[in-house]
Structure 1
């Protein structure tokens, strides 16, 4: 009699464990999906910001270029054209970020770093562990209890 009862409990416990594993996996998948969704939204905001900034900076760059070129021609001083050079670098960078392939190139470079330069990504003192967190927490609680 006890054997039948024990067998039934073991099956019930096994079913419960399977349910817990399935639930944990589903929860992890949802968490990963949510993280990716947040990352995509942040990237979209960054691109949108860059495009919006480009509109204002492009207007400034155009007015500044026309004004400086006019001043250089009227006064016959080519030195007025010098500020156009750094401004053009900023304009080109912002255009490439907002409408060009800069993000794809950055992604490719990041993937290359992840594959070939793994040691540059290591944290000082290695990964954080439960023990290191507990040690830091105990030390911090000692500081507060001493006051």
Structure 2
């Protein structure tokens, strides 16, 4: 009789250890997933910057410079102002600290202004059992 109770206690301890290990592994996996998502976003921005925006900005600057040389009017160069802002934004996002600043702002909002974040309740329903 005593061995039966001790076996149950041992099983409870083993289950607690396994649950703790599983929670730890799930936390690590979630952190890795978030890191991969951020890396994917930064990679997308870098690809867009290198192969789309940089050639567009470079060729636009050259064409506007030639247009200025032929017309001698500064109005031709006005499109460079918003293009420079967009260029610097993309450069900061692709190679700067923009992702770190966004992450810090998001963590600050989660810590200090959690009341502004509404996450709807989500209940898992097993489709095999048919319902909630």
TM-score, scaled to structure 2: 0.84
- Return the match for 1:111 from 100, 103, 107: 107
2:16: which partner in 1? 21
- What is the aligned partner in structure 1 of residue 45 from structure 2? 50
Question: For structure 1, which runs of at least 5 residues remain unmatched after alignment?
Answer: 131-136, 139-147
The residue aligned with 2:128 is none
78, 82, 87: which one aligns with 1:82: 78
List, as ranges, runs of 4+ consecutive aligned residues in structure 1 with deviation greater than 2 Å.
Answer: 127-130
Match for residue 119 of structure 2?
123
Could you tell me which residue of structure 2 aligns to residue 141 of structure 1?
none
- For residue 100 of structure 1, the aligned residue among 96, 103, 128 is 96
CA deviation map 1:2-61 (0-9, x unaligned): xxx1x2211110000111111111112111211211221121121122112111211210
Alpha-carbon shift at residue 129 of structure 1 (Å): 5.4
Structure number with bigger Rg:
1
What CA RMSD, in Å, does the superposition of the two structures yield over aligned residues?
Answer: 1.9
Unaligned 5+ residue runs, structure 2?
A: 125-130
Match of 1:70 among 66, 69, 72: 66
Q: Take 1:48 and 1:123, find their aligned partners in 2: how far apart are those partners?
A: 28
1:41 pairs with one of 6, 16, 36: 36
Measured against aligned partners, the alpha-carbon deviations of 1:85-111 in whole angstroms (never above 9, x if no partner) come to 221121111110111111111111112
Structure 1 length-normalised TM? 0.76
**Aligned residue for 2:127?**
none
